[in-house]
Structure 1
Amino acid sequence: MKNVKKITGVLMFIFMLIGGVMSAQDKVISPNQLPKTAKNFLASHFKGIAVSSAVEDREIYGVDEYKVHLNNGMKMEFDSSGNWKEVDGKHQKLPYGFIPTAIRNYSTKNFPNTYIMKIEKKRWSYKAELSNGLELEFDRNGNFKRIDD
């Protein structure tokens, strides 16, 4: 009887594990299926650059994020509502229209011969990677904090 309970418990654990893995997966979607906020962001800041792929990253509880690749090689990540989380120019200069003004001003003033080629927005901060390889950290208001090694 003890062995039956152990086997039943192990089988239940395996089925739960398989179910969790199967429900958390990526799904290729049409760019038209992106949230309106993400579509507006792309239209405003990357006008004329076609989307080569869009992926919906699903977790057990629903959509976690969207990953978008553009034909020019740039990629970006959006949260479940379509707000940008990360934009990677893949060594190309990013359009500055969506980057907070304080971050733009600091980087152009202090590093005049460089450009921002990647930016990541976290809950309480921003991280910007410059074309010279430096990574700058800013607080959520865009105030410079430090150079990240």
Structure 2
Amino acid sequence: MKNFRKITGAFVLTFLLAGGFIFAQDKAINANQLPKTAKNFLASHFKGVAVGSAIEDREIYGVDEYQVYLVNGMKVEFDSSGNWKEVDGKHQKLPYAFIPASIRNYAAKSFPNTYIVKIEKERWSYKAELSNGLDLEFDRKGNFKRIDD
């Protein structure tokens, strides 16, 4: 009887996990369906650059994130509330207005003749990739921590 319960429990657990993967899906959406915060970010920092496509990443519990592909090749990821998580310029210089000043200043002073091509905002830190391929890590306040290998 104990073996039957273990097998049944394992089957139920497997079914629930598989169900999570089945219901988690990406959905193409219109740029007008993005959260207001995301639309404002794009209008402010990518003025005149059209949205090529927008993807809503859905999980069982709701929207996890949005991925926006701009016609100039750049990609912007937003959280479920529309706050930016990552901006990837695909080797193009990013607009700097949304990047914390301490990060912009450190990159310009320490690595002249380069520019930021990608930035990620994580829970406790920022990661910035420069045009020369270096990856820089900063704390949540924008203070330089290290060069990431």
Using the size of structure 2 for normalisation, the TM-score is: 0.91
Q: What residue is the counterpart of 1:134 in the other structure? A: 134
List gaps (5 residues or longer) in structure 1.
none
> Over the residues paired in the alignment, what is the CA RMSD in angstroms?
1.9
User: Counterparts of 2:117 and 2:93 in 1: how far apart (Å)?
Assistant: 5
Deviation of 1:60 after TM superposition, in Å, equals 1.2
| Match runs of 1:94-133 below 5 Å | 94-133=94-133
List gaps (5 residues or longer) in structure 2.
none
User: Counterparts of 1:42 and 1:67 in 2: how far apart (Å)?
Assistant: 12
Give a deviation string over 1:59-102, Cα, whole Å, max 9, x none.
Answer: 11111110110001000110000000000000000000000000
Q: What residue is the counterpart of 2:87 in the other structure? A: 87
Q: SS at the partner of 1:65?
A: strand
Amino acid at match of 2:69: H
User: Counterparts of 1:112 and 1:30 in 2: how far apart (Å)?
Assistant: 39
User: Counterparts of 1:113 and 1:40 in 2: how far apart (Å)?
Assistant: 30
The alignment-based identity, stated in percent, is 79
Using the size of structure 1 for normalisation, the TM-score is: 0.91
Quick one: structure 1 residues 9 and 70, their matched pair in 2 at CA, closer, same or farther if it must change by over 3 Å? same
Give a deviation string over 1:99-137, Cα, whole Å, max 9, x none.
Answer: 000000111111110000000000110000000111111
Deviation of 1:22 after TM superposition, in Å, equals 2.0
Aligned length: 149
Q: SS at the partner of 1:95?
A: coil
Q: What residue is the counterpart of 2:22 in the other structure? A: 22
Give a deviation string over 1:23-82, Cα, whole Å, max 9, x none.
Answer: 111111110000000000000000111111101111111111101100010001100000
User: Counterparts of 1:109 and 1:42 in 2: how far apart (Å)?
Assistant: 27
Quick one: structure 1 residues 68 and 4, their matched pair in 2 at CA, closer, same or farther if it must change by over 3 Å? same
